[in-house]
Amino acid sequence: MTTLNPAGSPGAARRSPLDLLRRREAARAAARDPVRSAVAPLLVAHRAACPAGDESELLRGYEVAERLHRGQLRKSGAPYITHPLAVAMILAGMGMDTTTLVAALLHDTVEDTPYTLGEVRADFGEEVAVLVDGVTKLDGERWGERAEAETFRKIVLAAAADLRVLVIKLADRLHNLRTLRYQPPHKRARYATASLELLVPFAERLGIHVLKREMDDLAFAARAPEEHAFAEAAVRVALRGTGTALGPALTRLRSALGEQRVGGRLEIRPRHLYAVHQERGGDLAGLRPCEAARLLLLIDGDDQDCYVALGAVHAALHPIPGHVKDFIALPKFNMYQSLHTRVISPDGDPLDVIIRNRAMHPVAEYGIVAHIRDAGNGVATADAVAGRRDLVWLSRLLAWQSDVPSAEFLAGLRADLASGNVAVFTTAGEIVMLPAGATALDFAYALAAETGGRSIGALVNGRLAPLSAEVRSGNVVEILTDPDGAPSEDWLAFAVTAPARVHIQQWIADRRAEENATAGRTRLVRALAGKRVDLLTAEAHGDSLAVARDLGYAEIDHMYAALSTGALTLDTLLSRFDPA
């Protein structure tokens, strides 16, 4: 059986004299070459994760970025090149490929220097150009108030073509949050709020929890510095007592796991500050070690061994009923797999335990990045997005975003990415992920826009329920439809998800446009009758369309609707239908 040790106990690997000699030679070479010297940590990190990576491309990417950004400074006073280099380092630490790191080095060149996208394409190839273009913000002077919304829309569309765009954007935001202290207070708060509402949810949807946790805490510190400082102090004090408080629990667990011949590693894992703050509602006085940390059990074995380990944990420490969550049989939307349980520690405190095997661990920490790293870059492309169960949310986001104007897009995006996820089943056993508070109507629109629009009710776990009924995890929902059914404006009172609200609002707008067009046409028919002009004949001959085009309307119905709403006067229109 593998020994179960606390995290950090394994000693550092011994290095051979030859390895040390190579490192010294590399250090001397770096000193002679300033570019290689600057990029040396990046090369080491990239080589560790991707031994076959192209170091020459990284050197060339850095050289171009440094030359273009030369003379530009960050708010901290540091040379600007330190930012793209730091972003590339974050990505290298996650094991991303050479192309992604080169794009990270160049990600601000098109936005902040005379370097063009065409030049990126010519110098570094189409793949790097696509990634750089995807993370390049739209020009604020040209787009005005629409710039932020359209930039996020552009990122979403680019991520559908290659998910690495979104991974680079998250690393970029993480480094900006790390250096946010150099910005004025009002900018810090606004930037942090936008990060928590838009970028952190993207990290969670992609399962990149290593980024999410740090972004959470940095945004928390910027938005509520006093509360963050209090949480930091409370957690620090609580963690000092983990050895004493959790020691007896660890002893019992090691013994129980040994009896079941389950091998692995047991870690005391501190929780991140924002999670503790949110769970306790900011009341952290008297925070106990069991509330500031949880146990992570990494199993050497398969899925079945995880369940054996769960039984051993429950044999050693009394489980709290209703607190076992099986994310192995039913993974989260981002393919996260683990068993979660809450037990009573020997001193009587509730203690959370997470159990997973070593194959699950990289996905639990790095999410889609682990898939990209293991399967190659192809898993990040459009074909993979269309076929991946953990990316259904992105496909649905793409489906509704095109119908929403800039002013409403960010609000819809925030709602669509809102935290709290509910796993609802179709009668065929398919899982549909919805935000907390979602209704049967939201479920209907998640299946298809047509299903939502024609829905008249639902069966929840076999029982009749209204469309306004809130659905919960584990519910089996069947939508009842009517071929003649249609959306109602009343639905907006309980539709939660962006796809549902967008389609309902679009249907209402279309219906009103039709009603206005009909009313406008009826008014024009009556007015033209007095001039002995038959509108039906004018329409058949194309005269009405010609009048509409002359007045700047693409369609006849648009002209009629404008007449109904008062945007176009009757006198103006009648003068165009002169029988002479």
- Taking the C-alpha atoms of residue 332 and residue 216, their distance in angstroms, rounded to an integer, is 20
Rounded to whole angstroms, the Cα distance separating 284 from 233 reads: 10
**Which stretches of 244-391 are assigned E, i.e. beta strand?**
264-270, 293-299, 325-326, 339-344, 350-357
pLDDT at 419: 60
pLDDT band at 1 (very low <50, low <70, confident <90, very high): very low
- pLDDT attached to residue 434: 85
CA 108 – CA 82 distance, rounded (Å): 12
332 three-class SS: coil
DSSP 429-492: S-EEEEETT-BHHHHHHHH-HHHHHTEEEEEETTEEE-TTPBP-TT-BEEEEE-TT----GGGG
Q: Say which range, 188-197, 395-404, 502-511, has the weakest mean pLDDT.
A: 395-404
**Model confidence at 334: pLDDT above 60:** yes
* pLDDT level of residue 16 (50, 70, 90 thresholds): low
Three-class SS of residue 270? strand
The runs of H, that is alpha helices, within 71-208 are 82-93, 98-106, 109-112, 117-124, 126-135, 140-143, 147-161, 164-178, 185-194, 200-205
The overall pTM is greater than 0.85: no
The amino acid occupying position 436 is A
Task: Given the residues 111, 300, 482, 514, select the one marked as catalytic.
Answer: 111
pLDDT at 2: 38
Q: How many residues does the chain have?
A: 580
Contact 277, 227 (CB under 8 A): yes
Scored b (16 or more CB within 10 A) or e, 211-221 reads bbbbbbbbbbb
Question: 258 Cβ partners below 8 Å, 6+ apart?
Answer: 1, 4
> What band does 547 get if pLDDT is binned at 50, 70 and 90?
confident
In this predicted structure, the answer to whether residue 500 has a pLDDT above a threshold of 80 is: yes
Give whole-number Cα distances, 265 to 1, 241, 295, 361, in Å.
11, 21, 10, 12
Residue 11 burial (CB count, 10 A): 5
The predicted model gives 300-310 an average pLDDT of: 94
Per-residue CA distances from 389 to 192, 335, 385 (Å)? 30, 8, 9
CA dist 559 to 509, 544, 546, 552, 566, Å?
16, 9, 11, 9, 11
Given the residues 112, 123, 403, 557, select the one marked as catalytic. Answer: 112
Instruction: State the pLDDT at residue 9.
Output: 35
pLDDT digits (tens, 9 = 90+) for 52-106: 889 999 999 999 999 999 999 998 899 999 999 999 999 999 999 999 999 999 9
What's the mean per-residue pLDDT of the chain?
87
β-pair partners for 457: 480
How much of the chain, in percent, has pLDDT values that exceed 70?
A: 91
- pLDDT reading at 4 higher than 70: no
- Letter for the amino acid at 554? A
Alpha-carbon distances of 243 from 238, 246, 491, rounded to whole Å: 10, 6, 54
Q: What is the pLDDT of residue 575?
A: 81
DSSP 336: -
Which residues fall within 8 angstroms of residue 28, CB to CB, at 6 or more apart?
A: none
pLDDT tens digits, 249-282 = 999 999 999 999 999 999 999 999 999 999 888 8
Would you tell me how many other CB atoms lie within 10 Å of the CB of residue 226? 7
Q: Active site includes 112?
A: yes
Q: What is the dihedral of CA 448, 452, 455, 457, to 10 degrees?
A: 100
Q: Give the pLDDT confidence score for residue 534 in this predicted structure.
A: 84
- Range scoring the smallest mean pLDDT among 49-63, 135-149, 282-296: 135-149
25 is a catalytic site residue: no
Task: Tell whether the torsion through CA atoms of 450, 452, 456 and 457 is positive or negative.
Answer: positive
User: Rounded mean pLDDT of 487-504?
Assistant: 91
The pair of three-digit structure tokens given for residue 410, joined into one six-digit string? 């960010």
Burial of 203 (0-12, 13-18, 19+ CB in 10 A): buried
pLDDT of residue 373: 82
Average the pLDDT over each of 112-126, 337-351, 367-381 and give the range with the smallest value. Answer: 367-381
DSSP conformation letters of 25-47 = HHHHHHHH-HHHHHHHHHHHHHH
% residues pLDDT > 90 (the chain): 52
